[in-house]
């Protein structure tokens, strides 16, 4: 397809790993492993299509409620994947950021995060935000607390500056795989004017064709940001404006 109108920033709720594994009579962790491969494929596809920021929901603050062995397996998988992939991310020009509450994470996981961020800090081809132990309500609360600690008024402008993803513009497009139609506490503040795309495809099966379908849907949307179509025609507004 031609990429005439692509989002600058795509965010994805990577859902369906466990159900993908269950359908194949595999342990749920096998689905998460395949999900890592899908993320690698998606990052390369985004780069090829001119998308400059990719944000993924890797582990939510609610995921701690899952069975202990699944949570433990996810933590081990996360640390191993980081150690294995960080050199390739560096070569590919990917700048890695981990977004979320690091309190309660093991020193091993936090150390892997810090090392991955440091190793890729000078890259500028694609920004990859991995939301890990993240929740949208937590994000808003921590931002408000920062402003309170600094004695600053809680305004939209000030909040934007202390949100966990202040280093990138808000997502233009939010994709959720796996057939569910909800936001699940993901980027509640940042997605205020995002376009949404829902697909039944489980995350491990999300490929270039599925990404292109989401981009094609986005390209057909008229993003008015509170204005009318006539106003847009008279005074074009850049994508991402409030």
> CA–CA separation, 41 vs 138, rounded Å?
30
DSSP state of 205: G
Point out the catalytic residue in the list 63, 123, 160, 185. 63
**Are 174 and 186 a contacting pair, CB within 8 Å?**
yes
Q: Which residue has the tokens 């962790």?
A: 29
Q: State how far the alpha carbon of 19 is from the alpha carbons of 57, 141, 182, in Å.
A: 17, 32, 17
Cβ burial of 35 (10 Å; 0-12, 13-18, 19+) is: buried
Q: Is 63 a catalytic residue?
A: yes
Q: In what order do the strands lie in the sheet with 9-13?
A: 94-99, 126-134, 53-60, 9-13, 173-176, 195-198
**Residues with catalytic annotation?**
15, 63
């Amino acid at each position: 397809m031609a990429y005439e109108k692509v989002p600058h920033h795509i965010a994805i709720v990577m859902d369906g790993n466990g159900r993908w594994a269950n359908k194949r009579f595999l342990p749920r962790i096998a689905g998460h492993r395949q999900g890592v491969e899908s993320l690698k494929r998606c990052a390369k596809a985004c780069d090829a299509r001119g998308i400059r920021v990719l944000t993924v929901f890797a582990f939510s603050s609610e995921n701690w409620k899952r069975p202990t062995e699944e949570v433990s397996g996810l933590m081990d998988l996360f640390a191993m994947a980081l150690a294995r992939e960080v050199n390739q991310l560096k070569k590919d020009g990917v700048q890695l950021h981990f977004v979320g509450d690091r309190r309660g994470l093991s020193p091993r996981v936090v150390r892997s995060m810090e090392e991955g961020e440091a190793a890729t800090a000078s890259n500028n081809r694609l920004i990859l935000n991995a939301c890990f132990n993240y929740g949208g309500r937590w994000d808003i609360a921590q931002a408000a607390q920062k402003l309170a600690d600094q004695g600053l008024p809680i305004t939209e402008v000030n909040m934007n500056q202390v949100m966990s993803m202040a280093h990138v513009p808000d997502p233009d497009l939010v994709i959720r795989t796996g057939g569910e139609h909800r936001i699940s506490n993901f980027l509640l503040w940042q997605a205020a004017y995002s376009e949404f795309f829902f697909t039944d495809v489980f995350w491990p099966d999300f490929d270039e064709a599925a990404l292109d379908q989401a981009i094609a849907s986005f390209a057909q949307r008229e993003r008015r940001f509170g204005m009318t179509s006539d106003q847009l025609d008279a005074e074009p507004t850049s994508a991402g404006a409030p």
